[in-house]
Structure 1
Amino acid sequence: METPPEISKKVPKKMFWTGKVISILLSLFLLLDAIMKIVKAAPSVEGSVELGYPENTVIPMGVTLLLCTVVYLIPRTSVLGAILLTGYLGGATATHFRVEQPVYFSVIFGVLIWLGVYLCDERLRQLIPFRKSEPYRKLP
């Protein structure tokens, strides 16, 4: 099966590297957070307990975050990883709403995760194109 010509275009280098840098920086932070949860570092455990999670849930949350981030880092599965991380960050957003804390951090992370994939993947840009608005046309 042949790749359609509009999808086989090369991604501009600046766009590609901008997306990669965003994805790598976010992934480093998420991996650090996951590892801190897995090794039960005091700040991570204390933060989770303050948010209402029992201490025995910290390691499973860390493992979940680690797996989602690894899937995100693999180019062939980056879209699936972005979907999984969106779910994870959605839970973080809901938690912060529940305890009446600011939610901007998890929301911004979610947007940046998708921006990193969007800039690197021409197929995703084909699926979700940003276009200039066209004037309203009447149907015949």
Structure 2
Amino acid sequence: MSTNAQRAGWIITVLVTLFLGFDIVTHLFRVEAVMDFNDKIGAPGWFPVVCGAVLGLSLIAYHVPAARAMGTILITAYLGGAVTVNLVFGQPAFNTVFAIATGVLVWAGAWPRDERLRALVSRGAAA
């Protein structure tokens, strides 16, 4: 990949990390808005903390070169769960689109920076 593509990947990664980092903090500290939604969907009180921890560990893996592919996939899966919850509980379409867009940006940030990730996906597509 070109240097410009790698720079763009880093910029996207920083922005995605800031957003997901904020989301992690709101879950771990059980911010009122998070807890209100948690109550709305009928999830147990511990659920946001587990979600924040899972997302936090996935985000750490996303930044470790040897674990980047796994981190990228785990964050994508987490966001897929967010999409499902939004659809099942009739949340505004923006919430669903935003979760999907975040997943796309996670990949857009990792793809130009990680040759191993590109190779892994290419090998999987060829199989």
Distance across 2 between alignment mates of 1:123 and 1:116: 14
Distance across 1 between alignment mates of 2:38 and 2:14: 25
Normalising by structure 2, report the TM-score: 0.83
For residue 4 of structure 1, what is the aligned residue in structure 2? none
Gaps of 5+ in 2: 123-127
Structure with higher helix content: 2
- Residues 77-122 of structure 1, C-alpha deviations (whole Å, 9 max, x = no match): 1111011001101100110110122210111111111111112123
The equivalent position to 1:60 in structure 2, one of 50, 59, 65, is 50
Aligned residue pairs total: 119
Equivalences for 1:82-93 in 2 at 5 Å? 82-93=72-83
Q: Is the 8 A contact 1:18 1:116 kept in 2?
A: yes
Q: What do you get for the CA RMSD once the two structures are aligned?
A: 1.7
| 2:97 maps to 1:124 | no
The equivalent position to 1:106 in structure 2, one of 99, 112, 121, is 99
Q: Is the 8 A contact 1:27 1:73 kept in 2?
A: no
| 2:39 maps to 1:49 | yes
For residue 108 of structure 2, what is the aligned residue in structure 1? 115
Q: Based on CA coordinates, which of the two structures has the bigger radius of gyration?
A: 1
Q: List structure 1 runs of 4+ shifted beyond 3 angstroms.
A: 123-129
Aligned in 2, Cα 1:71/1:52: closer, same or farther, shift over 3 Å? same
The equivalent position to 1:69 in structure 2, one of 36, 43, 59, is 59
Normalising by structure 1, report the TM-score: 0.76
Gaps of 5+ in 1: 1-10, 130-140
